Amino acid sequence: MQFSGKSAVVTGSTSGIGLAIAKALSTDGASVMLNGIEEPGAAADVVAEVAAAGGAAKYTRADVSKPEEIQNLVKATTDAFGGPHILVNNAGIQYVAPIEEFPEAKWNAIIAINLSAAFHSIKAALPAMRSAGFGRIINIASAHSLRASPNKSAYVTAKHGLAGLTKTIALETARENITVNAISPGYVWTPLVEEQIPDYAKSNDLTEEEAKHEILDKQASKEFATVEQIAALAAFLVSDAAEQITGANYPVDGGWTAQ
């Protein structure tokens, strides 16, 4: 139980990558604050699932596009478990359209949720990390923090920004036993990817099966990564063995960004 006595907040952890990270941290003994936009009743099953992995778990509903709700989420974590010692900025959304058809509301939501939320959560969580003399911040970016694809202007912009924020805060905290790193998955089979398939198929005049195949074309391995693989890297970055890793951006993308 290497993370016993540590508390973690994982944004967007009711499904997909965030849920897998929450489970991995709980397995190692961390107390985990789960988050999403679902009402608490709808999150009861995931709270039970994460608590069953080993650590304590609670849920706070907070829309991370709203700075005051992020501040409440961090405060709820402190009130429940102390800390936070670990912050995982994972909540993210996607929208795919050429720029002339890209709705302004979607642009604003993607920048708010995928980028600005990390600024606000880091700002809110750092004082507790500084006073504990320990902090681990992990930003879930994307292969799109390193490469672009057409029709994803907001997502690619937000994820490139998140990579820059990661490096900047790593330098600001480098002498304080606080590390700040990004994980950049390629395609991972989660609801977020599943929901992109119909749009991708429509914009490229493909069947959904062809769209799935074409999406994987970027990934040299031709396979989706799993949420457990992302979670294992996140747990490593929290461990003492990773103390000297800061400001890094790790691709988990089956060779996509090697090309």
Of the CA atoms within 13 Å of residue 76, those in its CB half-sphere come to 20
- CA–CA distance, 10 with 87 (Å, rounded to integer): 6
Which one is catalytic: 95, 155, 187, 250?
Answer: 155
Contact flag: residue 31 with ligand NAD (CB under 6 A):
no
Using CB under 6 A, count the residues that bind ligand NAD.
Answer: 29
Q: At what angle do helices 227-238 and 16-27 cross, to 10 degrees?
A: 50
Contact flag: residue 216 with ligand NAD (CB under 6 A):
no
Of the CA atoms within 13 Å of residue 251, those in its CB half-sphere come to 16
Could you confirm whether 155 is annotated as catalytic?
yes
Nearer to ligand NAD, 135 or 185 (CB): 185
CB of 201 to ligand NAD, least distance (A): 17
Nearer to ligand NAD, 116 or 190 (CB): 190
- CA–CA distance, 18 with 4 (Å, rounded to integer): 20
- CA–CA distance, 90 with 61 (Å, rounded to integer): 15
Identify which range of 52-60, 63-71, 168-176, 198-206 contacts ligand NAD by CB under 6 A: 63-71
Contact flag: residue 140 with ligand NAD (CB under 6 A):
yes
Contact flag: residue 65 with ligand NAD (CB under 6 A):
yes
CB of 249 to ligand NAD, least distance (A): 12
Sequence-separated (6 or more) residues with CB below 8 Å from residue 111? 154, 157, 158, 161
Q: Binding residue for ligand NAD (CB under 6 A) from 64, 132, 154, 169?
A: 64
- CA–CA distance, 250 with 184 (Å, rounded to integer): 6
Give the residue from 76, 106, 74 showing the smallest Cα distance to 88: 74
Whether residue 127 is preceded by a cis peptide bond, meaning omega within 30 degrees of 0, is no
Give the residue from 159, 154, 158, 157 showing the smallest Cα distance to 142: 159
What residues numbered 172-211 form the site for ligand NAD, per CB under 6 A? 185, 187-188, 190-193
Contact flag: residue 142 with ligand NAD (CB under 6 A):
yes
The torsion region of residue 188 among left (phi > 0), alpha (psi -120 to 50) and beta comes to: beta
Contact flag: residue 252 with ligand NAD (CB under 6 A):
no
Nearer to ligand NAD, 71 or 177 (CB): 71
CB atoms within 10 A of CB 258: 8
Q: Binding residue for ligand NAD (CB under 6 A) from 8, 9, 10, 16?
A: 16
Identify which range of 32-40, 48-56, 96-104, 120-128 contacts ligand NAD by CB under 6 A: 32-40
What residues numbered 78-97 form the site for ligand NAD, per CB under 6 A? 90-93
Asked if 57 and 21 touch (Cβ cutoff 8 Å), the reply is no
Contact flag: residue 116 with ligand NAD (CB under 6 A):
no
Q: Residue numbers of the site for ligand NAD (CB under 6 A)? A: 11-18, 35-37, 63-65, 90-93, 113-114, 140, 142, 185, 187-188, 190-193
Residues marked as catalytic: 155
